[in-house]
Amino acid sequence: MLVYEFMPNGTLRDHLSAKNEKPLSFGRRLHIALGSAKGILYLHTEANPPIFHRDVKASNILLDSKFVAKVADFGLSRLAPVPDVEGTLPAHISTVVKGTPGYLDPEYFLTHKLTERSDVYSLGVVFLELLTGMKPIQHGKNIVREVNIAYQSGDISRIIDSRMSSCPPECAMRFLSLAIKCCRDETDTRPYMADIVRELETIRTMLPEGEDLLSETTETGSGMLTKSMSAFSTTTGALFVLSHTSGSGQATNSGIPSGTVAPR
């Protein structure tokens, strides 16, 4: 028998799909993004051996009673490559493509080459979900394509989740820019997970002084956020990984096995 920690706040997708009463504030969304990124950073850099998750998505990010994010479901995970006899570390794993449509790294899909930045692409899609409330694929539209069109046209307000509480436009724009970088088609142009964590922590410091990242507001984002965003234009079930967002340290481990993660 397996016993897992109870996650009273369900999945991130539950909240983004409005299955819960209160919409997530921007501060809480940023908190969840940072916790998720720290958890995946742990897998890539601190787990021994390192692990590629291969199925990062909103329904695999669970939320505890304090909305601490936990990356779950390691059924498709693969161990990262290890150095060969000459000490050379392979850059990728060649494998049958597995994952969830809408979250799949397009280069991995075409080449069957899995890398740590395949997880970066999937997490970038989650970031876009946090900002827009959209699903990765909805009514025949792909979230990455729709956001890129809005971003390049400078019409950001039409894709930002109107249920989100107000936030400084520079924070939302910087978070959006990071998400778009994560979702670039070319693997080598995406940031590494450590860079993502640093950028999210920088964005957190830009929030108004005294704002509680974990607090909810009763006001939704159809007011100040939409106005400020429209004024800001641009021309350009398995195991858990727990990651607290306090401090600048890397993710902490909760139940990560030291041995092999068995595929489904």
Tokens 């920088």 correspond to what residue? 202
The domains located in the chain, with CATH, are 12-81+90-242 (1.10.510.10)
Give the separation between CA 123 and CA 163, rounded to whole angstroms: 22
User: Which residues have a Cβ under 8 Å from the Cβ of 138 and sit 6 or more positions away?
Assistant: none
DSSP H helical ranges for 69-115 = 106-111
The values of phi and psi at residue 114, to 5°, are -95, 130
Q: Show the tokens assigned to 58.
A: 């909103």
pLDDT tens per residue, the chain (264 residues)? 878 889 999 999 999 987 557 889 999 999 999 999 999 999 999 998 899 999 999 999 999 999 999 999 988 999 988 766 666 666 778 889 999 999 999 999 999 999 999 999 999 999 999 999 999 999 999 999 999 999 999 888 889 998 887 778 899 999 999 999 999 999 999 999 999 999 999 999 999 875 645 444 434 443 444 444 444 444 343 344 554 444 434 333 333 333 333 333
- Tens of pLDDT, residues 55-75: 999 999 999 999 999 999 988
Angle (CA) 45-49-53 rounded to 5° is 70
Class of residue 262 by CB neighbours under 10 A (exposed 0-12, middle 13-18, buried 19+): exposed
pLDDT given for residue 61 in this prediction: 98
In this prediction the pTM is 0.80
Contact, 250 vs 41, CB < 8 A?
A: yes
Catalytic residue numbers? 55
**CA 137 to CA 156: how far, in whole Å?**
19
Respond yes or no on whether the N-terminal peptide bond of residue 49 is cis (omega within 30° of 0): yes
Question: In the 8-state DSSP scheme, what is residue 104?
Answer: S
What per-residue confidence (pLDDT) applies to 162? Answer: 87
**Straight-line distance from the first to the last Cα atom of the chain, in angstroms, rounded to the nearest whole number:** 17
Task: Give how far Cα 212 sits from Cα of 101, 215, 229, Å.
Answer: 35, 5, 22
The H or E element spanning position 62 is strand 61-63
Per residue in 68-104, pLDDT (tens digit) is 999 999 889 999 887 666 666 667 788 899 999 999 9
Residue whose pair of structure tokens reads 């088609």 in the numeric block: 185
